[in-house]
């Protein structure tokens, strides 16, 4: 849940580490820290403020050094504070570690193996440098100190020794005073190496490195790497391994705001592009192709989707889409619940699909592993190349939304829907003419999304000004638009801090009606489908209780205006495709409302982009 970076080369490390950290500050921002190593001395600087603040408070002349590590923190063990900020050091201040993940057995290590060490923080991480120190202490100190530069092997062994004591997950970078390299290792947390010219980089996420290099090596589960300025040595299970270097096509501009005030707004505006790119990945000349080895024999089989947060709502929408198009039963489970439930997988003819933008959500990865243990076929649907989900699942379907930096998921949700439309059609046995109709409409979705961005935004801005004054809002929808109401509510609450609840339109009368007053606006999704009349009936009931209603309705709907206070118009589509224009409108509504309220849109409080703890 934190971001980590490392540099070793011929340039000053400090500005490079600062720049790289800023790119991944979204991974956690409750404190940060940097270490720079300079000819036998290490300098550490920490802050509970932003990385900008940290930068402003270090004078570059104070620190020079060609090796550095950095960390931006999302607290799991120990409150956000300077003493808990990384890097953490051993007792002698010679070994420093930045860590992303959780060490589950740190307490027993402190009380057992390290019972005579003095700890300066409340973190789980601090045991790692102490453990490394203990092993290094077993080597002959004098010889070791004299030939430290040559002692990569000993340092690597000491890191391995330390890691063998740990239970939990980690991506770590270790710096040792006087050593001309860094050691990196991963278990259940992502870690990549950026390859440069007489310099190399390490980071938890690719965007951290794009300004420096696009030559990336994705470390695999259990890898440990010794990274020097002109060499990269990777080992797994005691033997050297070669990992492929990949060229990443995301430009640095892709990962930056591109002129928009916030990443979230930029990413909403990239929704049409995300649809085009995702379609392009699997659609050629009206044929849907998920790759040669991708076959789902739908006979007697069902699909089980596991996911969290926005990806869970996308999966719920996927259920409606795939059941409508392919007539294959789909069940959707929250990954965090599925992992501890008695869900019967034994003997079930089920394909398990994990839906996860980041591919790193701990609950979702656990669910994938559970499915694997039961011998189910597994598929990861993710946005992140080489992410952990792709390593666990039998097969990966990539959405091509590009890097999503805003904590609030937007374009990845739309890309997930596109994958479900493609899957629904791929698995369907519908007549050719119907198939072509669906495909044609799917291909029209980038324009439809663009029309919402171009035509509805001004109107949405007015409604956002109005909505921003309230503290409680309901979102209602039915059928395929129920998950859209749920996602609309999640988006609003997460970035504007307005209490928002998504509900099935027909369910309000079974309890929540008690909450309806003139101070609880309701956003009602009114798509012209077989649920329209019923939803309109619910809207009338809501109005009778005094709540203001804003409808999301199609351009040609002349009826709706009579019953609601305001309408946000979206282009006409067939019902099954209506989630696309509706969600673009609701993403904009959440963004504009949060902006009216002056909220920290890209970094909402208490949240982080990928939730790598259960």
What are the catalytic residues?
2, 609
- Determine, following the binding rule CB under 6 A, whether residue 356 of this chain makes contact with ligand M6R: yes
Q: Which residue is closest to ligand M6R by CB?
A: 309
610 scored as a contact of ligand M6R (CB under 6 A): yes
Report d(CA 8, CA 266) in Å as an integer: 33
- Binding mask 36-75 toward ligand M6R (x if CB under 6 A, else -) reads ----------------------------------------
Q: Is 357 in the site for ligand M6R (CB under 6 A)?
A: yes
Q: Binding to ligand M6R by residue 573, rule CB under 6 A?
A: no
Q: What is the DSSP string of 134-149?
A: HHHTTS-HHHHHHTGG
Contact track, ligand M6R, 438-477, x by CB under 6 A:
----------------------------------------
Of 154, 169, 310, 547, the one binding ligand M6R by CB under 6 A:
310
Total of residues contacting ligand M6R (CB under 6 A)? 16
Binding to ligand M6R by residue 496, rule CB under 6 A? no
d(CA 274, CA 445): 11
Q: Is 225 in the site for ligand M6R (CB under 6 A)?
A: no
126 binds ligand M6R (CB under 6 A): no
In this structure, the number of other CB atoms found within 10 A of the CB of residue 84 comes to 23
Other C-beta atoms lying within 10 Å of the C-beta of residue 208: 29
Looking at residue 220, the DSSP 8-state letter turns out to be P
> CA-to-CA distance for 614 and 606, rounded, in angstroms?
15
Extract the tokens encoding 431. Answer: 């007549």
Q: Which is nearer to ligand M6R, 24 or 611 (CB)?
A: 611
Rounded to whole angstroms, how far apart are CA atoms 292 and 164? 39
Q: Is 367 in the site for ligand M6R (CB under 6 A)?
A: no
Query: Which residue, 54 or 368, has its beta carbon nearer to ligand M6R?
Result: 368
Residue from 325, 361, 573, 582 binding ligand M6R (CB under 6 A): 361
Half-sphere exposure of 25 (CA within 13 A, CB side): 22
Q: How far is the CB of 359 from ligand M6R (least distance, A)?
A: 7
204 binds ligand M6R (CB under 6 A): no
Q: Of 90 and 267, which has the nearer Cβ to ligand M6R?
A: 267
588 binding ligand M6R? (CB under 6 A): no
Which of 406, 398, 320, 402 lies closest to 354 in space, CA to CA?
398
Q: Report in angstroms how near the CB of residue 21 gets to ligand M6R at its nearest.
A: 21
Q: CB of residue 223 vs ligand M6R: minimum separation in angstroms?
A: 22
CB 100 within 8 A of CB 73: no
CA dist., res. 598 & res. 592, Å (int): 10
Residue from 409, 489, 498, 551 touching ligand M6R (CB under 6 A): that is 409
As given in the structure block, the two tokens for residue 393 are 């699942």
Q: Does 175 bind ligand M6R (CB under 6 A)?
A: no
What is the chain's Cα-based Rg?
Answer: 26
User: Pairing state of beta strands 330-334 and 302-307?
Assistant: parallel
CA distance 503 to 265: 26
Applying CB under 6 A, among 72, 154, 278, 311 the residue interacting with ligand M6R is 311
User: Which residue intervals of 327-456 are DSSP H helices?
Assistant: 335-338, 362-373, 388-392, 411-427, 432-451
Asked if 378 is part of the footprint of ligand M6R (rule: CB under 6 A), the reply reads no
To ligand M6R, the closest distance from the beta carbon of 338 in angstroms equals 13
3-state SS class at 324: helix
Binding of ligand M6R at residue 364 (CB under 6 A)?
yes
Residue 3 engages ligand M6R in binding (rule: CB under 6 A): no
Classify 181 in phi/psi space as left (phi over 0), alpha (psi -120 to 50) or beta.
Answer: beta
358 binds ligand M6R (CB under 6 A): yes
Of 270, 494, 554, 557, the one binding ligand M6R (CB under 6 A) is 494
Q: What is the separation of C-alpha 51 from the centre of its chain, rounded to a whole number of angstroms?
A: 21
Q: Determine which residue in the list 212, 277, 611, 612 makes contact with ligand M6R, applying CB under 6 A.
A: 611
- Our CB check for ligand M6R shows the closer of 241 and 607 to be 607
Residue 212 in contact with ligand M6R, rule: CB under 6 A: no
CB 406 within 8 A of CB 262: yes
Question: Is 419 a binder of ligand M6R (CB under 6 A)?
Answer: no
Q: Which stretch binds ligand M6R (CB under 6 A): 108-116, 144-152, 221-229, 353-361?
A: 353-361
CA distances from 96 to 63, 339, 544 (A): 16, 35, 64
Single residue of 407, 439, 467, 552 touching ligand M6R by CB under 6 A: 407
Q: Which stretch binds ligand M6R (CB under 6 A): 66-74, 307-315, 528-536, 565-573?
A: 307-315
22 vs 411, beta carbon nearer ligand M6R: 411
Q: Is 583 in the site for ligand M6R (CB under 6 A)?
A: no
> Which of the ranges 226-234, 320-328, 356-364, 533-541 carries the binding residues for ligand M6R, by CB under 6 A?
356-364
Contact 264, 602 (CB under 8 A): yes
| Count of positions (residues) in the chain | 614
3-state helix, strand, coil in the chain (%, to 5): 40, 25, 35
Say if strands 549-554 and 522-526 run parallel, antiparallel, or are unpaired. parallel
Give the binding range for ligand M6R (CB under 6 A) out of 279-287, 402-410, 458-466, 510-518. Answer: 402-410
Is the bond leading into 87 cis (omega within 30 degrees of zero)? Answer: yes
Strand ranges across the sheet with 200-203? 41-47, 31-38, 67-73, 3-8, 200-203, 192-195, 215-218, 245-247
Contacts with ligand M6R by CB under 6 A lie at 308-311, 356-358, 361, 364, 407-409, 490, 494, 610-611
């Amino acid at each position: 849940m934190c971001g980590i970076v490392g540099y070793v080369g011929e340039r000053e490390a400090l500005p490079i580490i600062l720049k790289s950290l800023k790119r991944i500050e979204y991974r956690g921002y409750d404190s940060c820290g940097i270490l720079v190593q300079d000819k036998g001395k290490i300098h550490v600087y920490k802050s509970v403020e932003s990385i900008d603040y940290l930068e402003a408070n270090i004078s570059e002349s104070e620190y020079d050094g060609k090796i550095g590590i950095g960390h931006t923190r999302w607290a799991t063990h120990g409150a956000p504070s300077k003493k808990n900020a990384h890097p953490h050091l051993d007792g002698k201040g010679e070994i420093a570690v930045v860590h992303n993940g959780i060490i589950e057995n740190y307490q027993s290590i402190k009380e057992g193996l390290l019972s005579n060490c003095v700890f300066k923080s409340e973190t789980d991480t601090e045991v790692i440098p102490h453990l490394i120190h203990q092993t290094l202490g077993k080597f002959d100190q004098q010889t070791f100190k004299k030939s430290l530069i040559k002692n990569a092997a000993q340092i690597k062994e000491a890191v391995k020794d330390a890691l063998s004591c740990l239970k939990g997950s980690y991506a770590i970078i270790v710096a040792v005073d006087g050593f001309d390299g860094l050691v990196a290792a991963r278990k259940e947390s992502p870690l990549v190496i950026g390859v440069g010219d007489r310099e190399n980089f390490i980071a938890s996420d690719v965007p951290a490195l794009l300004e420096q290099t696009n030559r990336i090596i994705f470390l695999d589960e259990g890898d440990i790497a010794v990274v020097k300025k002109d060499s990269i040595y990777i080992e797994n299970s005691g033997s050297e391994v070669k990992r492929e270097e990949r060229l990443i096509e995301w430009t640095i501009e892709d990962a930056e705001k591109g002129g928009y005030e916030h990443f979230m707004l930029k990413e909403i505006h990239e929704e049409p592009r995300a649809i085009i790119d995702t379609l392009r990945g699997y659609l050629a000349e009206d044929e849907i192709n998920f790759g040669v080895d991708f076959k789902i024999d739908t006979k007697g089989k069902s699909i089980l989707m596991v996911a969290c947060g926005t990806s869970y709502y996308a999966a719920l929408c996927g259920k409606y889409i795939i059941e409508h198009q392919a007539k294959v039963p789909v069940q959707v489970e929250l990954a965090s619940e599925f992992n501890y439930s008695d869900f019967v997988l034994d003997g079930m003819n089920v394909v398990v699909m994990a839906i996860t933008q980041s591919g790193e959500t701990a609950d979702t990865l656990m669910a994938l592993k559970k499915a694997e243990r039961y011998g189910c076929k597994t598929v990861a649907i993710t946005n992140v190349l080489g992410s952990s989900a792709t390593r666990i699942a039998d097969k990966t379907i990539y959405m091509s939304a590009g890097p999503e930096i805003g904590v609030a998921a937007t374009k990845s949700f739309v890309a997930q829907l596109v994958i479900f439309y493609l899957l629904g059609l791929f698995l369907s046995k519908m007549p050719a003419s119907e198939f072509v109709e669906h495909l044609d409409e799917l291909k029209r979705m980038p324009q439809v999304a663009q029309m919402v961005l171009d035509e509805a935004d001004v109107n949405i801005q007015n409604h956002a000004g109005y909505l921003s004054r309230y503290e409680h809002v309901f979102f209602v929808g039915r059928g395929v638009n129920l998950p859209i109401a749920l996602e609309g509510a999640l988006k609003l609450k997460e970035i504007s801090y307005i209490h928002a609840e998504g509900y099935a339109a027909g369910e309000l009368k079974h309890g929540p009606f008690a909450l309806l007053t003139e101070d609880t606006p309701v956003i009602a999704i009114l798509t012209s489908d077989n649920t329209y009349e019923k939803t309109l009936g619910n809207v009338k009931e809501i109005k009778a209780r005094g709540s203001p209603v804003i409808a999301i309705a199609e351009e040609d709907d002349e009826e709706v205006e009579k019953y609601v206070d305001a309408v946000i118009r979206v282009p006409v589509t067939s019902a099954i495709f209506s989630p696309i224009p509706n969600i673009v409108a609701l993403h904009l509504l959440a963004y504009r409302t949060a902006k009216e309220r002056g909220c920290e849109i890209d970094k909402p409080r208490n949240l982080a982009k990928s939730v790598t703890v259960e």
